[in-house]
Amino acid sequence: MKYDSLNNLYQKLFHNLKREKVSLKKDSIILTLTRSGSNIQSKISKILEESSVKSHFFKRDELKYFLDENYVRVSRNDLNDYVLTAKGLWFIETENKKISKKILVDFIESEILTKKINTKLKDKEKIILFALISLRCFDTNNVMNLNDKYRLDEWLSIFSDCRDFLHSKKILKNKVVFKNVGLEHAVAAEMRRVNDLPKKTHLIYNFTGKKEYYLDISKNTDKVSQLMFLFGLVLDGNNDPTLLDEIKTFCNNLAYDKTKFVSDLTKLTKEYDDLIHSSIRSLILLHD
């Protein structure tokens, strides 16, 4: 059996995606679905439903065969229309040499599992990381908890203080502004969008999945090295002793001024004070 009508249905979808400016990975819809976030996947799904055809689009006996093979299905928008299934997409892209098991596996390996990521932090990532360090969010007992709305404004104030300090020391390129996204609070919006921070921090930056964020260093045997690494990311390797002393003072002052407003932690421990001090001291020694 020839598959011209199935290929034509695919081409209709393909051109509609291009028209709607969906960027296709290696001209493959399957690969694009694999690599894209939920917003793009939803957009492709919507366009797929809109790229339907009537039964007379197919030759005699073709429709029954394609339905039996699960290459097409009834559209959700109209019971008289038909659209491609994932199996149909795979079949056509296999026929057109756009996809194969090898191509898919190699794509997942290179684009998802081992994709090189720029470890240099953006300004907002620096502010967020610096704020978590300053407030000693070093384990699940002391997290940035965004479930309580009254704490969101306090965290915004902390972000602003960190931004102003880092900008004054020329650690930031721009004095960034944190804005609400629709009805979503500025802090919640930013924390939901720092998707690269776990990889950039070698998974030290972590979250519970319950709108709680922290730096996972408390269980590490070499906490000082971990914190030195995080400070290095924020400072882009600038370990000037005067700057580092100012950072230690800022972190301590911010912690003792603001922790009571955003955390259930009853007191800050000397252990965390010593950890900040030791990390800063080690960075200064590197400079010497």
Write down the pTM of the prediction. Answer: 0.64
Question: Are residues 258 and 251 in contact, defined by beta-carbon separation less than 8 angstroms?
Answer: no
Strand 144-145 and strand 72-74: the pairing is unpaired
Q: How far apart are CA 181 and CA 164, in angstroms?
A: 22
Closest by CA position to 107, among listed 43, 11, 29, 39: 29
Q: pLDDT tens digits, residue range 19-29?
A: 999 999 999 99
Tokens of 253: 């002052």
- Residue 70, sorted as left (phi over 0), alpha (psi -120 to 50) or beta, turns out to be left
pLDDT on residue 184:
93
Angle in degrees, CA 246, 252, 255, rounded to 5: 135
What integer is the mean pLDDT of 236-244? 89
Burial class (CB in 10 A: 0-12, 13-18, 19+), 199: middle
Q: How many CB atoms are closer than 10 A to CB 77?
A: 12
Tokens of 112: 């998802």
Q: pLDDT tens digits, residue range 35-69?
A: 888 889 999 999 999 999 999 999 878 999 999 99
pLDDT on residue 219:
65
What integer is the mean pLDDT of 147-155? 91
Q: pLDDT tens digits, residue range 85-110?
A: 999 999 999 999 999 999 999 998 88
Binned at pLDDT 50, 70 and 90, residue 117 comes out as low
Q: How far apart are CA 277 and CA 288, in angstroms?
A: 17
pLDDT on residue 220:
61
Q: How far apart are CA 43 and CA 13, in angstroms?
A: 12
Tokens of 241: 């002793």
What integer is the mean pLDDT of 141-169? 94
pLDDT on residue 119:
76
pLDDT on residue 267:
61
What element of type H or E holds 74?
A: strand 72-74
Binned at pLDDT 50, 70 and 90, residue 118 comes out as low
**Taking all residues of the chain, what is their mean pLDDT, rounded to a whole number?**
91
Question: Are residues 260 and 267 in contact, defined by beta-carbon separation less than 8 angstroms?
Answer: no
Judged against a pLDDT cut of 70, whether residue 1 lies above it is answered with no
Q: How many CB atoms are closer than 10 A to CB 255?
A: 21
Question: Are residues 92 and 5 in contact, defined by beta-carbon separation less than 8 angstroms?
Answer: no
Judged against a pLDDT cut of 80, whether residue 265 lies above it is answered with no
What element of type H or E holds 192?
A: none
What element of type H or E holds 283?
A: helix 270-287
Beta bridge partners of 142: 139
Binned at pLDDT 50, 70 and 90, residue 221 comes out as low
Angle in degrees, CA 88, 90, 91, rounded to 5: 65
